[in-house]
Amino acid sequence: MTLYMNLAELLGTQIEQGFYRPGDRLPSVRALSQEHGVSLSTVQQAYRHLEDSGMAAPRPKSGYFVPAERSLPALPGVGRSTQRPVDVTQWADVRDLLRSVPGPNVRRLGRGMPDVHAPTLKPLLKLLAQATRRTDLRCLYYDSAQGAEPLREALARHLVSSGCQLAPEDIVITSGCQESLSISIRAVCEPGDIVAVDSPSYHGVMQILKGLGMQALEIPTDPVTGISLEALELALEQWPIKAIQLTPSCNNPLGYVMPEARKRALLSLAQRFDVAIIEDDVYGDLAYQYPRPRAIKSFDTDGRVLLCSSFSKTLATGLRVGWVAPGRYLERVLHVKYISSGSTSPLPQLAAAEFLKAGLFEPHLRRMRSQYQRSRDQASDFVTRYFPVGTRASRPQGGFMLWIELPADVDCLQLYRRLLTQNVQIAAGSLFSASGKYRNCFRLNFAGHAHRSIEDSMRKIGMAAAELIAEQHALG
Amino acid sequence: MTLYMNLAELLGTQIEQGFYRPGDRLPSVRALSQEHGVSLSTVQQAYRHLEDSGMAAPRPKSGYFVPAERSLPALPGVGRSTQRPVDVTQWADVRDLLRSVPGPNVRRLGRGMPDVHAPTLKPLLKLLAQATRRTDLRCLYYDSAQGAEPLREALARHLVSSGCQLAPEDIVITSGCQESLSISIRAVCEPGDIVAVDSPSYHGVMQILKGLGMQALEIPTDPVTGISLEALELALEQWPIKAIQLTPSCNNPLGYVMPEARKRALLSLAQRFDVAIIEDDVYGDLAYQYPRPRAIKSFDTDGRVLLCSSFSKTLATGLRVGWVAPGRYLERVLHVKYISSGSTSPLPQLAAAEFLKAGLFEPHLRRMRSQYQRSRDQASDFVTRYFPVGTRASRPQGGFMLWIELPADVDCLQLYRRLLTQNVQIAAGSLFSASGKYRNCFRLNFAGHAHRSIEDSMRKIGMAAAELIAEQHALG
Indicate whether A167 and A190 sit together in one domain: yes
**DSSP 3-state of A300:** coil
> Are B461 and B425 contained in the same domain?
yes
Which residue in B has a C-alpha nearest to residue A138's C-alpha?
B318
Distance of CA A390 to the CA centre of its chain: 25
**What's the pLDDT score for residue B74?**
86
Across the interface, of B318, B335, B340, the residue whose CB is closest to A142 is B318
**Tens of pLDDT along chain A (476 residues)?**
578 888 988 888 788 767 788 888 999 999 999 999 999 999 999 998 888 767 888 888 889 998 876 667 888 988 766 678 888 887 888 888 777 555 677 888 988 999 999 999 999 999 999 999 999 999 998 888 999 999 999 999 999 999 999 999 999 999 999 999 999 999 999 999 999 999 999 999 999 999 999 999 999 999 999 999 999 999 999 999 999 999 999 999 999 999 999 999 999 999 999 999 999 999 999 999 989 999 999 999 999 999 999 999 999 999 999 999 999 999 999 999 999 999 999 999 999 999 999 999 999 999 999 999 999 989 999 999 999 988 999 999 999 999 999 999 899 999 999 999 999 999 999 999 988 899 999 999 999 877 788 999 999 999 999 999 999 888 76
Assigned domain for B74 exists: no
Q: Are the beta carbons of B140 and A319 separated by less than 8 Å? A: yes
Residue B476: per-residue pLDDT: 66
Query: Is residue A216 in some structural domain?
Result: yes
Give me the sign of the Cα torsion angle B255, B261, B267, B269: negative
* B207 and B344 share one domain: yes
Taking CB atoms and an 8 Å cutoff, what residues of chain A touch B315? 140
Q: Do A347 and A371 share a structural domain?
A: no
SS3 A447: coil
Q: How many whole angstroms separate alpha carbon A289 and alpha carbon A370?
A: 9
pTM: 0.87
Task: Closest CB to B339: pick one of A211, A334, A343.
Answer: A211
Q: Does A128 contact B347 at a Cβ distance shorter than 8 Å?
A: yes
Q: What is the pLDDT of residue B81?
A: 65
CATH number for B464: 3.90.1150.10
**Residue range B7-32, pLDDT digits in tens:** 988 888 788 767 788 888 999 999 99
| A-contacting residues in B 200-229 (Cβ below 8 Å) | 204, 207-208, 210-213
Residue B444's H or E segment, with its range, is strand B441-445
Instruction: Please state, in angstroms and as integers, the Cα–Cα distance from residue B199 to each residue in A158, B154, B163, B189, following that order.
Output: 46, 33, 26, 20
Q: What is the pLDDT of residues B39-86, one digit of tens each?
A: 999 999 999 888 876 788 888 888 999 887 666 788 898 876 667 888
Q: Answer yes or no: do A403 and A354 share one domain.
A: no
Interface of B with A in 294-323 (CB under 8 A): 315-320
Does A31 touch chain B if contact means CB atoms closer than 8 Å? Answer: no
Nearest to B335 among A143, A207, A341 (CB): A207
Rounded to whole angstroms, what are the CA distances from A179 to A82, A194, A258, B339? 28, 20, 24, 8
Instruction: Determine, for residues A144 and B342 on separate chains, whether the beta-carbon distance falls below 8 Å.
Output: no
Q: Which of A91, A126, A139 sits opposite B318 (nearest CB)?
A: A139
Residues of A in contact with B141 (CB under 8 A): 113, 116, 316-318
Size (chain B), residues: 476
d(CA B476, CA B473): 5
Answer yes or no: is A399 within a domain: yes
Residue B177 domain flag: yes
- Residues B356 and B368 both lie in one domain: no
User: If you measure CA to CA, which chain B residue comes closest to A90?
Assistant: B335
Q: How far is CA A78 from CA A1, A4, A218, A235, B303, in A?
A: 27, 28, 12, 17, 47
Among all residues of chain A, which has the CA nearest to that of B346? A318
Same domain, B337 and B367: no
Residue A171 resides in a domain: yes
Same domain, A349 and A264: yes
Is the distance from CB of A56 to CB of A8 less than 8 angstroms?
no
Shortest Cα–Cα distance, B376 to chain A (Å): 22
Looking at residue A185, its pLDDT comes to 98
Q: Which domain holds residue A461?
A: 91-116+363-475
- Same domain assignment for residues B355 and B426: no
Q: Which of B329, B361, B393 is the last residue of a domain?
A: B361
DSSP state letters, B127-177: HHHHHHT-TT-GGGSPPPTT--HHHHHHHHHHGGGGT----GGG-EEESSH
Q: Given an 8 Å threshold on Cβ–Cβ distance, is B318 in contact with A141?
A: yes
Question: Measured between beta carbons, which residues in chain B are less than 8 angstroms from residue A140?
Answer: 116, 121, 125, 315-319
- pLDDT at position A439: 94
* R_g over Cα of chain A: 22
> Which residue, B312, B345, B361, sits at the end of a domain?
B361
CATH of the domain at B237: 3.40.640.10
Cβ-based contacts of A143 with chain B (< 8 Å): 318
Q: Residue A384 falls within a domain, yes or no?
A: yes
Using a CB–CB cutoff of 8 Å, tell me whether B343 touches chain A: yes
Nearest 5°: CA angle at A350, between A345 and A353?
Answer: 125
> Using CA atoms, how far apart are residues A321 and A301, in angstroms rounded to an integer?
27
pLDDT at A102: 52
Residues of chain B with pLDDT under 50: none
> Are residues A96 and A226 both part of a single domain?
no
pLDDT of residue B67: 82
Do A188 and A299 lie in a common domain? yes
Within-domain flag for B199: yes
Where a domain ends, among A360, A388, A406? A360
Question: Are A32 and A127 in a shared domain?
Answer: no
Residues of B (36-95) whose Cβ lies below 8 Å from A: 91, 94-95
Shortest CB distance from B338 goes to which of A125, A141, A207? Answer: A207
Chain A residues with CB-CB distance to B129 below 8 A: 128-129, 132-133
With vertex at residue B90, the alpha carbon angle to CA B87 and CA B93, rounded to the nearest 5 degrees, is 170
**Best residue in B347, B368, B445 to probe A by mutation, most A CBs within 10 Å?**
B347
**What count of CB pairs under 8 Å joins A to B?**
197
Q: Give yes or no for B139 touching A (CB within 8 A).
A: yes
Split into its structural domains, chain A has a count of 3
A449 touches B at CB < 8 Å: no
Torsion of CA B324, B326, B327, B329, to 10 degrees: -160
- B416-B422-B427 Cα angle (round to 5): 25
Cβ distance A98 to B346 less than 8 Å, yes or no, reads: no
**Are A338 and B207 inside 8 Å of each other by CB?**
yes
Q: Does some domain include residue A280?
A: yes
Which residues from chain B sit within 8 angstroms of residue A315, using beta carbons?
Answer: 140
Instruction: State the number of CA atoms in the 13 A half-sphere of A149 facing the CB.
Output: 5
Of A138, A178, A116, the closest CA to residue B132 belongs to A116
Contact A317 B140 (CB under 8 A): yes
